[in-house]
Structure 1
Amino acid sequence: MKKFFITGTGTGIGKTYITSAILKNILSRKKIIGIKPIAAGFSQNSINEDVQTLLDCQASINDHHKINFYSLKKAVSPHIGTEEEGMQIDFNLIKQKINDLENEYDRILVEGVGGLLSPVDQSRTNLDLIRHLDIPVIVIIGLKLGCINDALLTQHVLESNGIKAAGWVGNLIDPEMDEVDKNIEYLKQNIKSKCLGIARHNDSNFKLNI
């Protein structure tokens, strides 16, 4: 059994895209599930867009509640949404549901909400959830101007808190970024965990394995 928490250097840097890529690449060989325990913002069908994207990669799952345990109505930071809706996020419940999935799957991908230090309620962040689940992380780095600072700060926070990084993935979110390859090379030389892959902009052939 392998479990990984998918976190990132910020919001909107492609956690769901990369999680989906991993799912598509491994489904034919391993029993794998991708979940997003906490999601913010959903459409009229009451399903968050990221959750729907993950469902679309997993045809055998027909109930979104299996992969999403807390869904906030507004697309805002969860610490705002939970307060407005009077919702309490139970880390023990999330951990128990993940443990239950271990009986069905060889791999479990747990996608966070926002970046590593994004709040999930008024007093806790994704970092606190990772600590509670006690599983290694895969860091998605949004490749854009400033990504080196974002990536090294994220690495520093993980190391300072004794959290194991299983690796990182670079996702080119700015197709106009200058000197992409030189930035990637710097990241490879200065991030201690291994590079699991680089996703170029709109690269339909991108594959990644864990």
Structure 2
Amino acid sequence: MAKQWLFITGTDTDVGKTVVACGFLAAANQQGLRTAAIKPVAAGCEVTEQGMTNSDALQLQAAASHKLSYQQINPVALEPAIAPHIAAAEAGLRMSASRLVGYCRGVSLMPVDTVVVEGAGGWRVPINSRETLADVARELECAVIVVVGMRLGCLNHSLLTMEAIRRDGLQIAGWVANILDPEMPRLQENIDTLKQCINEPCLGTVPRLDDLSAERVADFLTVPGQ
């Protein structure tokens, strides 16, 4: 079967991209698919015995069935939890879409069926003065999954994000409603509105969970194309 590339983006930062990405990895694993994961750039890393590591990238590493080294999963690890292009400039690093794409394409040689690429923040996060992470997804020709953090403002953020992805010429594989606040006023009405306004399928609604294991999140997701 052809290798499936899925790019996980979000309507904002801290909307649950990693939780959902790990859920899709677990769901694909359960279907017998061989999976790998990449987070090309991560800001908010800590100095460990392995060098600079990021908790999101470590979760992806654990959830994928094909075990890559940390450096393969997160080739650009930046310490401050700030916009990646600012953190890279402060560290004296020159990020470019072509370089990040090159890191990702190294995984194409691996014996895997599905590659999950997790972005940083939202769709238009800059990586330098001219390019954004959207350029990485576009060069890789990924199908995009949008994680919608269910909170006030999510309708506008979701529709603008979808509009931008379509304008970039990429396929939207679907979207996921991730419930950040179970007490959000008119929560179900907001989810229903998104289903009415977005043509692409809702691949799942992830409730607020005490157990955020990849396998538990997978129970609420449908792998696109399966």
Q: TM-score range by the shorter chain?
A: over 0.9
Q: Distance in 1 between matches of 2:128 and 2:88?
A: 6
Paired residues for 1:1-210 under 5 Å:
1-28=3-30, 29-45=32-48, 46-58=52-64, 61=67, 63-103=69-109, 104-202=111-209, 204=211, 205-207=216-218, 208=221, 209-210=223-224
Partner of 1:177: helix, strand, or coil? coil
Q: Distance in 1 between matches of 2:192 and 2:210?
A: 19
Percent identical across equivalent pairs?
Answer: 34
TM-score with structure 1 setting the length: 0.93
Paired residue type of 1:206: V
Q: Provide structure 2 residue ranges, at least 5 long, that are not aligned to the other structure.
A: none
Q: Distance in 2 between matches of 1:63 and 1:128?
A: 25
Of 130-139 and 28-37, deviating more is: 130-139
Alignment coverage as a number of residue pairs = 210
Q: Provide structure 1 residue ranges, at least 5 long, that are not aligned to the other structure.
A: none
4+ residue runs over 6 A deviation? none
Q: Distance in 2 between matches of 1:111 and 1:159?
A: 18
TM-score with structure 2 setting the length: 0.86
Partner of 1:112: helix, strand, or coil? strand
Q: CA RMSD in A?
A: 1.7
Q: Closer, same or farther in 2 for the Cα pair 1:160/1:90, shift >3 Å?
A: closer
